[in-house]
Structure 1
Amino acid sequence: MTPRRPMRRHALATRLLAGQAVVLLAGALTVGLVAALVGPPIFHEHLLQTGHPQDSPELAHIELAYRDASFISLSLGLLISLLAAGAVSWFLARLLRRPLGLVTDAARELARGHYATRVPDVGSGTELDTLATSFNVMASRLEGVEDTRRRLLSDLAHELRTPIATLAAYHEGLTDGVITLTPEARTVLVEQTERLARLADDLDEVSRAEEGRLALTRAPVLAADLLRAAADSVRDPYRSGGVDLRVDVDPAPDLLVDADRTRVGQVLTNVLSNALRHTGPGGTVTLSAHRDGAEVVLQVRDDGEGIAATQLPHVFERFYRGDSARSRDRSGSGIGLTISKAIVDAHGGTIDATSAGAGTGATFRIALPSPQHGNGREGHARSDEPVSPSNLHKT
C-alpha cells in the first residue's frame, strides 16, 4: 500500500484553523472599527449629559479608561476565540482524519484494481458512515461487474474453442489430404460455421438490447395469440422429444398486452426451448396467462429437472453454468435467457424463474404491461421507437 504523505495528514487541520482564524480576525476587525468609531462619541455624549464639563480633566481620564478597557476586552476575547477555534479545529480534524484516510486509501486501492477493498465501519458519524457504506456498495458492484466480465471472457473462450478447434482440425486434414470433403465433412463444417455465426448474432442481440438499440413495434395483442404462436413454433421439437406441450388460455381468453409481437414471441420461444432441454420424455410443459394488477403474466411451467436455489439468481446471466446440463445444450450459445430478459426489460416488464429444487420442475413468469390499465413505466405504446437505456433494467 502506498504510504500517505505526512503533509497531507495535517492539511485538513491547517485549513480548518486558517478558516476559523480568518473569520475571527474579520469579526475582530469589524468589532474594533465599530467600537472605535461608534463607542467613544456615544460614551462622551453620555458623560456630558451627567454634568461633566467639556474640558474637565476627569472627562479625558474616563474616556481614556473606556478606550483601554475596550481594547483589553476585545484582545482577550479574540485570543480566547482563537484558542477555542484551534481546539475545535484540532478535534474535528482528528475526528475526520481517520475515516477520510480510510476512504482515500480504499479509493486508491480500488483504482489499482483491488475490487475486494472495503472501508471498515469506523463509527464517526452519520454522514461519514453513509459515505463508507455508499463506497462499499460501489466497490461491491464494481467487483460484481469485474467477476461477470471475467466469467464472460472465460465462457466466451469456451464457446469459441470447440467450433474453432473443429474447423482447424478439418482444415488441417483437408490440407494434408487425410480428410476428403465428403457430405458428412461438409455437414460438420457448415454446422460449426453456423454455430459461430449464431453466437455472434446472439452477442450482438444482447448488446443492442442492453444498450437501448432495440426498436420495438408495440401494439395491443392478445396474450392467447402470443402463446399459441409460440407453441406452434416449437411443436415439432417437442413432439420429437416426447414432451407434452399444453396451452391453457381458457381462464383469460381476452387478455391484452402492450408488446412487440415478434420480440415477445422470441422470448417465449427461448423459454420454451429451455424448458424442453430440461424436461425428459413423458414430461409436460404448460403455457398459460393471467392478470396480475396492471400487468399480464405469461407463464411457462415444466415438470422437469428443476433449478437449485443457489442457481436461481443467475439463470439470466450470460453463459452462466451452475449445472452444465441445465445451462445449455450442444447447439445453444448459452445466452437465450439473457436476451429474453433484455427484451422483457425493454418492454418495461419483468421476467423471473422459480423452482422448489432439483426434480420439481421450474416456472418462468413474464410480466408485461397491459394497455387496458396503462403502462406506468413506459407510457403509451409507440411504433418503431428506439428503446432508451433509462428504460432498461440491469440484466
Structure 2
Amino acid sequence: MSTRARRGRRGLATRLLLAQVVVLLASLLTAGLVALLVGPSLFHAHVLQVRPVWDPAELEHIERGFREASFVALSAGLLISLGCAIAVTWWMTRGMQRTLDALTTAASKVSRGHLSSRVSSAGGGAELDTLAGAFNLMAGQLEQTEATRRRLLSDLAHELRTPISTIQLYCEGLTDGVIQWDEATERVLTEHTARLARLAGDIDDVSRAEEGRLELDLSPVPVTDLVASTVQRQQDVFAAAGVRLTGEYRTAGDAVVHVDTDRLGQVLDNLLRNALRHTPQGGAVVVSAGRAGEEVQVTVTDSGDGIPAEQLSHVFERFYRGDTARDRDHGGSGIGLTISRAIADAHGGSLTASSEGRGRGSSFTLRLPVRARQRSVPAHGTDRS
C-alpha cells in the first residue's frame, strides 16, 4: 500500500467523529431552515397580537433581534453539540481502537511466524471481545499445528535416517567386499527395508484417515467374538513380555455390531500394543466389553505408566509422544491412535482416553452403535507412545 493511500485512510475515531459532525450539521441546517421559514412569520403574528399597530422601525428592530438571537442560540448549540460529540466519540473509540490496534499488531506478528501472539480484551465491546477470542483460538490452533508439523518432520527424519543409513552402509560394504552376502546380511537388509515400507504405509494410513477416505467392508459380528479373537491373538505376545492379559465379555451378551472386522481388529491390536508398551513386567491388561443402551463399549485398561492430566488432551494428536525419552523402536511411531480413532469415527462410534494420573494406569474406550452406519470423519490425533 502506498504512503498516499495510507494517509488517505482515516482512523475509526476520525470517521465516527466526521459521521457525528455530518449528523449535527444536517440537524442544524434543518433547524435553521425551519426557523427561517416558520419562525419569523410566527413571531410576527405573536407581536401583532400584543399590539396591532407598531412603528415600522421598532417592528424591524424586534424581528432582527429575534433572528440574531435564534442564530446565536443555534450556533451555541452547534458548538456544545460538537464538543459533546468529540467527547462521546473519544470515549466510545478508546477501547475499540486499543482492541483493533492489538488485533492488527498480533495479526502482523502471526503473519511473520510469531504464532504465540495473543490479544487481550481492551473493553471494546462484546463484538470485539468475541473477535479477539476467535483470533486467539485461531492463533492457538496454528501454533499447535506448526508444533505438530515440526514434530512430524523430526520424527520422519529420525525414522528414515536409521534404516537408510544402515542400508547404505551395507550396500557400500557389499560393493567394497568388506561385507559378505549371507543370512545375517539378508536379515538386516530385509528388516530395515520392511521398516521403511511400514513407515510409508503408516503415513498413507494417516493421510487417508485425516481426509476421510477410509473404506469399510461392513458385516454383522458378535461383539464377544470380535474381542475374544483379538485377546487370543495377542496372548503369546503378552505372555512373552510377562504381562497378564484377560478378557471380560459377559455383560456384552449377544450384542451384534456391523463393522469392518479387519479395521476393528486393527483398532484393538493398536490399543493392546499401546497398553503393552506402557505396562511393566508383572502388570495386567484387561479387555472388557459391555452394552450401554444403544451402544457397545470395549475398554482396554492397563496398570502401567498412566497419562498425566496435561497430556490427556494430546494423546490423539499426530505423532504425539507423552514420554519423549522413549526411542521410536520402543515408543511406537506415534500414529496408532490417530488411525484407531479415525476408524472408530468412520463406524459412527468414538474412541476416548482416561487416566487417574502418572503411574495409575490408563483406559481407552471404544464405543460403537449397535446398528452402525458408515460415515467418514477426518481425525486429528496421534498415538501417545
So what's the TM-score if we normalise by structure 1? 0.80
1:3 corresponds in structure 2 to: none
Rounded Cα–Cα distance in structure 1 between residues aligned with 2:161 and 2:338: 21
**Are the counterparts in 2 of residues 119 and 135 from structure 1 also a CA contact under 8 Å?**
yes
Rounded Cα–Cα distance in structure 1 between residues aligned with 2:24 and 2:218: 67
For residues 271-310 of structure 1, what are the structure 2 equivalents within 5 Å? 271-280=271-280, 283-292=283-292, 294-308=294-308
1:317 corresponds in structure 2 to: 317
TM-superposed CA distance for 1:187, in Å, is: 2.1
**Are the counterparts in 2 of residues 219 and 381 from structure 1 also a CA contact under 8 Å?**
no
Bigger shift: residues 96-105 or 59-68: 59-68
- Secondary structure, in 3 states, of the residue corresponding to 2:20? helix
Rounded Cα–Cα distance in structure 2 between residues aligned with 1:327 and 1:291: 38
**Are the counterparts in 1 of residues 342 and 377 from structure 2 also a CA contact under 8 Å?**
no
Letter of the structure 1 residue corresponding to residue 116 of structure 2: A
Q: What is the CA deviation profile of residues 106-141 of structure 1, one whole-angstrom value per residue up to 9, with x for unaligned ones? A: 221121111222335645655555444443333333
TM-superposed CA distance for 1:163, in Å, is: 0.8
2:147 corresponds in structure 1 to: 147
Rounded Cα–Cα distance in structure 2 between residues aligned with 1:46 and 1:220: 99
Q: What is the CA deviation profile of residues 13-35 of structure 1, one whole-angstrom value per residue up to 9, with x for unaligned ones? A: 32222121112112222232333
- Secondary structure, in 3 states, of the residue corresponding to 1:191? helix
Bigger shift: residues 261-270 or 37-46: 37-46
Letter of the structure 1 residue corresponding to residue 369 of structure 2: P
- Secondary structure, in 3 states, of the residue corresponding to 1:214? coil
Where structure 2 has 5 or more consecutive residues not aligned to the other structure, the ranges are 1-5
TM-superposed CA distance for 1:250, in Å, is: 1.0
2:366 corresponds in structure 1 to: 366
Residues 329 and 275 of structure 1: is their aligned pair in 2 closer, same or farther, counting only changes over 3 Å? farther
Bigger shift: residues 233-242 or 55-64: 55-64
Residues 105 and 308 of structure 1: is their aligned pair in 2 closer, same or farther, counting only changes over 3 Å? closer
Residues 261 and 56 of structure 1: is their aligned pair in 2 closer, same or farther, counting only changes over 3 Å? farther
1:381 aligns with 2:369: no
2:176 corresponds in structure 1 to: 176
- Secondary structure, in 3 states, of the residue corresponding to 2:251? coil
- Secondary structure, in 3 states, of the residue corresponding to 2:252? coil
Rounded Cα–Cα distance in structure 2 between residues aligned with 1:7 and 1:331: 58
Residues 42 and 357 of structure 1: is their aligned pair in 2 closer, same or farther, counting only changes over 3 Å? closer
Task: Kindly report the root-mean-square deviation, in angstroms, between the aligned alpha carbons of the 2 structures.
Answer: 3.6
Rounded Cα–Cα distance in structure 2 between residues aligned with 1:214 and 1:226: 20
Rounded Cα–Cα distance in structure 1 between residues aligned with 2:377 and 2:364: 26
Bigger shift: residues 31-40 or 268-277: 31-40
1:222 corresponds in structure 2 to: 222
1:185 corresponds in structure 2 to: 185
Rounded Cα–Cα distance in structure 1 between residues aligned with 2:144 and 2:331: 28
Letter of the structure 2 residue corresponding to residue 381 of structure 1: R
TM-superposed CA distance for 1:173, in Å, is: 1.0
2:3 corresponds in structure 1 to: none
2:97 corresponds in structure 1 to: 97
Residues 134 and 242 of structure 1: is their aligned pair in 2 closer, same or farther, counting only changes over 3 Å? same
**Are the counterparts in 1 of residues 95 and 122 from structure 2 also a CA contact under 8 Å?**
no
TM-superposed CA distance for 1:143, in Å, is: 2.0
Residues 393 and 314 of structure 1: is their aligned pair in 2 closer, same or farther, counting only changes over 3 Å? closer
For residues 196-215 of structure 1, what are the structure 2 equivalents within 5 Å? 196-215=196-215
Residues 359 and 330 of structure 1: is their aligned pair in 2 closer, same or farther, counting only changes over 3 Å? closer
Rounded Cα–Cα distance in structure 2 between residues aligned with 1:324 and 1:157: 16
Residues 125 and 394 of structure 1: is their aligned pair in 2 closer, same or farther, counting only changes over 3 Å? farther
TM-superposed CA distance for 1:198, in Å, is: 1.1
TM-superposed CA distance for 1:227, in Å, is: 1.0
Letter of the structure 2 residue corresponding to residue 72 of structure 1: V
**Are the counterparts in 2 of residues 287 and 299 from structure 1 also a CA contact under 8 Å?**
yes
Rounded Cα–Cα distance in structure 2 between residues aligned with 1:261 and 1:363: 22
Q: What is the CA deviation profile of residues 51-94 of structure 1, one whole-angstrom value per residue up to 9, with x for unaligned ones? A: 84799776665554444333332222222212222232334444
Bigger shift: residues 348-357 or 169-178: 348-357
**Are the counterparts in 2 of residues 103 and 132 from structure 1 also a CA contact under 8 Å?**
yes
Residues 60 and 360 of structure 1: is their aligned pair in 2 closer, same or farther, counting only changes over 3 Å? closer
Rounded Cα–Cα distance in structure 2 between residues aligned with 1:38 and 1:293: 81
TM-superposed CA distance for 1:150, in Å, is: 1.4
Bigger shift: residues 211-220 or 263-272: 211-220
- Secondary structure, in 3 states, of the residue corresponding to 2:237? helix
1:245 corresponds in structure 2 to: 245
1:32 corresponds in structure 2 to: 32
**Are the counterparts in 2 of residues 238 and 276 from structure 1 also a CA contact under 8 Å?**
yes
Aligned residues: 377
Report the identity percentage: 55
Residues 54 and 201 of structure 1: is their aligned pair in 2 closer, same or farther, counting only changes over 3 Å? farther
Residues 291 and 87 of structure 1: is their aligned pair in 2 closer, same or farther, counting only changes over 3 Å? same
Residues 24 and 310 of structure 1: is their aligned pair in 2 closer, same or farther, counting only changes over 3 Å? closer
Q: What is the CA deviation profile of residues 331-356 of structure 1, one whole-angstrom value per residue up to 9, with x for unaligned ones? A: 95332122112322444533233344
1:113 aligns with 2:105: no
Residues 123 and 86 of structure 1: is their aligned pair in 2 closer, same or farther, counting only changes over 3 Å? closer
Letter of the structure 1 residue corresponding to residue 88 of structure 2: V
**Are the counterparts in 2 of residues 351 and 367 from structure 1 also a CA contact under 8 Å?**
yes
Letter of the structure 2 residue corresponding to residue 136 of structure 1: N
Rounded Cα–Cα distance in structure 1 between residues aligned with 2:40 and 2:181: 114
Letter of the structure 2 residue corresponding to residue 301 of structure 1: T
- Secondary structure, in 3 states, of the residue corresponding to 1:318? coil
TM-superposed CA distance for 1:388, in Å, is: 4.8
Bigger shift: residues 199-208 or 270-279: 270-279
